[in-house]
Amino acid sequence: MAFSDAERRAMARALELAARGPRSRNPQVGAVILSPHGDVLAEGWHRGAGTAHAEVDALSHLPEGGARGATAVVTLEPCNHTGRTGPCAEALIAAGVARVVYAVTDPGVISGGGARRLRDAGVDAEGGLMAEEGDALVGPWITATRLGRPHVTVKWAQSLDGRAAAADGTSQWITGGEARADVHRRRAEADAIVIGTGTLLADDPQLTARLDGALAPAQPVPVVIGTRPVPPHAAVRSHPAVAETGEPLAYATRDLAAVLADLRERGLHRVFVEGGPTLASAFLRAGLADRVLAYVAPVLLGGPRTALDDIGVETIGAARRLVVESMVPLGADVLFEARLHEGDS
């Protein structure tokens, strides 16, 4: 695949534009229109359900015929269906665009296929430019589209010998400040942060995301799973995302699939599970985890309080194999970032 320098610059800009859009049921998408000489003619991004898609938003800034012979650089393959708005592939064809470059293929059964439609109309369509960066932006939405549930990251902190707490239950702090700061950064990237009622009652967390000591501009919605009620004065009731009602999303159930289905319906595609060994193990046991973040501290605790309990592995042949994507030193600690093998989640 051959991409010009102008197209690479335009894709980097399109990714910046995409991040301006809201996290919702729809993906965050950005678009840049380039002249045949590589100059930027127009920019656009998707501002939420029911509004113009990024490509159409960019085209709207051009006069009639202004995109003829141009190249459209888009973070996601142009859609091929009519919903609240028309198909972007058709809009690009009608505008006379000669070439379309995109980062990530749309996996939707209904919305996908835009590149094929473009090619059938004689438009050069090529994907894969900055695919890794594009996937980081829309990967959770793709998971929701493909699996019918949000993208789930399960996080825990543990000692070197695999314990989440000392024998008396104390666990603050196994890891150091750099690891905790990394957790807050990842909370800020999530749409929802999930704990169980056991963790809620034991630790009374607020579940906010803080960056450099201040509340992050974007806050994950706090979610509590379990049959015990949220206490009237629980810290989570003062979370900024539920400040108006004082009510976190609470699910008095052990049906994790049903919880995820409801979260997806609410447009929450990035779910961060931070609820202790019982809840982490339940998500893994149910095959509802996509990524694992294990923060490992160079301390030994011994005792019974392991970081995970039963995840449904009865023999070594049934072990849940992970693909470790990175091992990141964080002060004295190490973060193992891994994904589940396809078919294990």
Whole-prediction pTM: 0.76
Identify any residues that bridge with 291 across adjacent strands, giving them in sequence order.
Answer: 153, 339
At residue 21, the pLDDT reads 85
CB 307 within 8 A of CB 277: yes
Which residues are tagged catalytic? 55
Helix (H) or strand (E) holding 157: strand 151-159
Read off the pLDDT of residues 59-94 as tens digits, 9 standing for 90 and up: 999 999 999 999 999 999 998 866 656 689 999 999
At the fourth CATH level, which superfamily is domain 149-340?
Dihydrofolate Reductase, subunit A (3.40.430.10)
The CATH code that applies to domain 5-142 is: 3.40.140.10
At residue 169, the pLDDT reads 81
> Across the chain, which distance is largest between two alpha carbons, in Å?
72
Q: What is the mean pLDDT of the chain?
A: 89
Amino acid at 3: F
State the number of CA atoms in the 13 A half-sphere of 142 facing the CB.
Answer: 16
Read off the pLDDT of residues 117-164 as tens digits, 9 standing for 90 and up: 999 999 999 999 999 899 888 877 887 777 888 999 999 999 999 999
User: Beta strands of 173-216 (E only): which ranges?
Assistant: 192-196, 210-211, 214-215
Q: How far apart are CA 128 and CA 145, in angstroms?
A: 19
At residue 69, the pLDDT reads 96
Domain range annotation of the chain = 5-142, 149-340
Please, which pLDDT band fits residue 1 given cuts at 50, 70 and 90? low
Read off the pLDDT of residues 261-300 as tens digits, 9 standing for 90 and up: 999 888 888 899 997 899 999 999 999 999 999 999 999 9
